[in-house]
A and B are shown apart, each in its own frame.
Chain A
Amino acid sequence: EAGVAQSPRYKIIEKRQSVAFWCNPISGHATLYWYQQILGQGPKLLIQFQNNGVVDDSQLPKDRFSAERLKGVDSTLKIQPAKLEDSAVYLCASSLEAYSSYNEQFFGPGTRLTVL
């Protein structure tokens, strides 16, 4: 079974530029998560989708971050404009469905963003 795919793996941009990350979850997984992991910290949930609807985006900095999951499969996370403090690893995860903690979340390899 293919895992969660993410691209690119690494990205270096200058502050105020825009950047987009892509995630393809495991086939059949209804729930998709984007996490931000700053160096030395645990992952922090940014946004959670159930199919193509947003379940939780309470920690997403909406003035600069946006995410979409068209057709309930792939997802894109965008930052515009980027700030220095956005330097982090952005992890995508998926699970069968959101409404039970029995669901294991499967994580992708992440995208390491460096903002200069």
Chain B
Amino acid sequence: AQKVTQAQTEISVVEKEDVTLDCVYETRDTTYYLFWYKQPPSGELVFLIRRNSFDEQNEISGRYSWNFQKSTSSFNFTITASQVVDSAVYFCALSEPSQGGSEKLVFGKGTKLTVNP
């Protein structure tokens, strides 16, 4: 079965520091998708990025960047020059085939990031 491991339970940084959130996954599928979601204190999960298994190019979006390495089954997320508003729980997720031929998401346990002023 698919599995997502986020080894860092909590991270605390000072504003403007860079921070990397680790994600390691296990899957037997050759085609799969990886996701990152942000869950602020309000509770609503916010989609950040989706990456398919055939695209190993790193991606940058503003202060956010993602490093996908198939060889190590990792999909790490870096926030550059962190801000207090980045404080949230971040989840890495992996798509998994579900019953009926559709897909479902398997989430890691999340990493709680606290950015202090």
Contacts and interface: CB of A to CB of B under 8 A. Distances in A.
A114 to B, nearest CB: 14
Given A55-B98, A58-B98, A104-B50, A43 B103 contact: no
B9 to A, nearest CB: 8
Contacts of A42: 4, 91, 93, 107-110
B103 A100 contact: yes
Contact of B100 (A3, A55, A100): A55
B21 to A, nearest CB: 13
Interface stretch (A17-25, A44-52, A61-69, A72-80): A44-52
A57 B50 CA distance: 24
B55 interface: no
Interface of A: 3, 31, 33, 40-45, 48, 50, 55-58, 89, 91, 93, 98-102, 104-110, 112
Contact of B33 (A56, A93, A101): A101
Contacts of A107: 37, 44-46
B101 interface: yes
Nearest to B98: A56
Contacts of A110: 43-44
A56 B43 contact: no
Interface of B: 4, 32-33, 37, 42-47, 50, 52, 91, 93, 95, 98-105, 107-110
Given A43-B45, A101-B103, A109-B43, 8 more contacts: A33-B104, A40-B109, A43-B91, A56-B102, A99-B102, A101-B32, A101-B52, A104-B47
A105 B50 CA distance: 11
B64 to A, nearest CB: 16
Q: Considering the complex of A and B, which 8 residue pairs feature the smallest CB-CB distances, nearest first?
A: A42-B107, A98-B102, A107-B45, A56-B98, A101-B33, A56-B99, A55-B100, A101-B95
Tell which of B98, B101, B104, B110 has the most Cβ of chain A within 10 Å. Answer: B104
B99 A55 contact: yes
